[in-house]
Structure 1
Amino acid sequence: MKKQKFAVIACLAAGFLFASCNKNDKQQEAATPDQVSADVLAQIKANGFSTDNVRKTDEGYLVEGDILLSAERLQEKVGSPKLRIANDEQYRTNNLVRALPRVIKVKVTGLGSAFIAGTDTAIARYNRLGLRITFQRITSGTANITLQGFNEGPSGGYITLGSSGFPTSSGNPYSTIKMNTNSAAYGSNPDVLYVGSVIQHEIGHCIGMRHTDYYNRAYSCGGSAINEGDGGVGAVLIPGTPSTANANSWMLACSNGGNRTFNANDIIALNYLYK
């Protein structure tokens, strides 16, 4: 997740991009320290992800602002459907969490009280839905998802708020959510509901949710419409989903800079996958 671009002096209030997870998807002007090869960009495109502002990281490649793709993940064959809601759609990834019903254990390591409370907020929101996938925060033992910090200031007009990835081919959730501890990300006194909304978004990626406005990121981020196309992974309309824009979805690419949780269409999508 990233904040949206900065003004010359002040940060735009509504400029946070979740991903969650939110980065602005506008192209970064500054050159990336590690160039991404044309072959890797082609693999990213073939998997149905945006090739704008791809960044090389220790874990692989950061795409769409807050989604980590490993080199192994890029080698996987695409072919399963994604979920669509009208023109501003709800998507899932190739892989979903399997072996349901299932309790996903979540651990927070090396982060302050606002991140712990934000994790509890996100977990409570998911658990209230009565899905066959539930979450439990643990303080010891082995976790399925671990939240950990990193410290990275603004670069090229962006700041990453958090990042995560997608489920494995074996049906497990993505195992790591990274949250930015830099003061430019959440301030010196982070708002728990805002932090919780970002964590909620990143958990969405961990269980297989794409950005809702993937087909038109201008819907939440502004600027020019960006449509990455089908990516070779198909599209399936969720039964019962209204044919209207998906305003205020928890998986929109850019956040409103504050508290955001599930809307009615989000719940339809989650129920379709995990109820």
Structure 2
Amino acid sequence: MNLRLFTATLITGSIFFASCSDISESSVAPKQEAISSVAAAKIKALGFNPNNALKVAEGYLVEKDVLLTEEDLAKGALMYDKAAPKEEQYRTTRLVTGLPRVIKVKVATTLPTIFVQATDEMIARYNSQGLLLTFQRITSGTATINITKDETLPSGVLGSAGFPTSSGNPYGTVKMKPSTFGASPSLGFVATVLTHEVGHCIGFRHTDYMARVCGGGNEGTAGVGAILIPGTPSTIDNASFMISCAGSDVPFSNYDKIALNALY
């Protein structure tokens, strides 16, 4: 997600929500390559903005926080519906399957304690909705989603995540960059970032997919790239946890709750 976060204390600049049972810290900057014109065309065809996309080890980091794999690009339009997008809650074609299902979440020991507390808050937010998809934090064993520390993410990026796999599993890694959060981030703020990134892992795209409220145009050409979730509004839901920019603490809006229950 190219989730740009502005707070009252930020006069200039912006912060972005970016985009293994053993969880380790990454501190050595990975090689980042310019993407090819072919890759850029495929990214655009999926409904994402290829501008400033980075080639990383796992695939392509687009819109600052969304990870697209080579498989995603190869699947092309098969991964996303071609319904004309507007400004509502959106999902990808790939969703988590095998419901009811418990998603086990593990937090890297290298992350500050606030990230563990925020993970518990994130889990409470999802589980309060009575979904067929429920979350549980674990400290040992194999996790479905690992929350890791990665200080090599681009400057200003808070975190990154990808979309569900073709086999119906959530994307397995949420990367967090603690230095971008500052010395003493609030629990609600960190929980909002995690809730947003896990939203990507289970198939949610940005609410303001075709009309960025923080500037920068839309995420791609009209007609490709996202499926409108029935029951969500015909105008931008500025209170959504999946909007591309937000305040310090953004719980689920009423339309977010409709979208979550429509999918899970």
- Scaled by the length of structure 1, the TM-score of the pair is 0.82
The structural deviation recorded for 1:12 is 3.5
Task: Give 2:71's aligned residue.
Answer: 72
Task: Give 1:41's aligned residue.
Answer: 40
Deviating more after overlay: 109-118 vs 227-236: 227-236
Q: Which amino acid aligns with 1:132?
A: L
1 CA distance for matches of 2:18 and 2:206?
Answer: 8
2:232 aligned residue (238, 241, 257): 241
2 CA distance for matches of 1:19 and 1:33?
Answer: 15
What is the aligned residue count?
A: 249
2 CA distance for matches of 1:242 and 1:87?
Answer: 10
The 3 A distance-change label for structure 1 pair 148 and 231 is farther
Alignment of 1:74-113 (within 5 A): 74-79=73-78, 80-81=80-81, 87-109=86-108, 110-113=110-113
Secondary structure of the equivalent of 1:198? helix
Unaligned ranges ≥5, structure 2? 20-30
2 CA distance for matches of 1:251 and 1:147?
Answer: 18
Task: Give 1:212's aligned residue.
Answer: 207
- For the 8 Å contact 2:60–2:67, the answer to whether it is kept is yes
The structural deviation recorded for 1:146 is 0.1
2 CA distance for matches of 1:234 and 1:189?
Answer: 36
Cα deviation per residue 1:190-216 (whole Å; 9 max; x = unaligned)? 221111110000000000000111101
1 CA distance for matches of 2:5 and 2:170?
Answer: 30
Cα deviation per residue 1:67-122 (whole Å; 9 max; x = unaligned)? 111112211142353788x8422110120000000000000012110000011110
2 CA distance for matches of 1:44 and 1:137?
Answer: 33
1 CA distance for matches of 2:227 and 2:68?
Answer: 21
2 CA distance for matches of 1:2 and 1:93?
Answer: 16
Name the Cα RMSD after superposition: 2.6
Task: Give 1:28's aligned residue.
Answer: none
2:217 is aligned with 1:225: yes
The 3 A distance-change label for structure 1 pair 228 and 105 is same
- Scaled by the length of structure 2, the TM-score of the pair is 0.85
1:200 aligned residue (166, 178, 195): 195
- For the 8 Å contact 2:153–2:159, the answer to whether it is kept is no
Q: Percent identity?
A: 47
The structural deviation recorded for 1:59 is 1.3
- For the 8 Å contact 2:3–2:243, the answer to whether it is kept is no
Task: Give 1:57's aligned residue.
Answer: 56
Task: Give 1:189's aligned residue.
Answer: 184
Unaligned ranges ≥5, structure 1? 21-31
2 CA distance for matches of 1:227 and 1:3?
Answer: 12
The 3 A distance-change label for structure 1 pair 147 and 268 is same
Alignment of 1:166-185 (within 5 A): 166-182=163-179, 185=180
Task: Give 2:23's aligned residue.
Answer: none
The 3 A distance-change label for structure 1 pair 33 and 58 is closer
- For the 8 Å contact 2:103–2:144, the answer to whether it is kept is yes
Cα deviation per residue 1:28-57 (whole Å; 9 max; x = unaligned)? xxxx95211001111111222111210121
2:244 aligned residue (247, 253, 270): 253
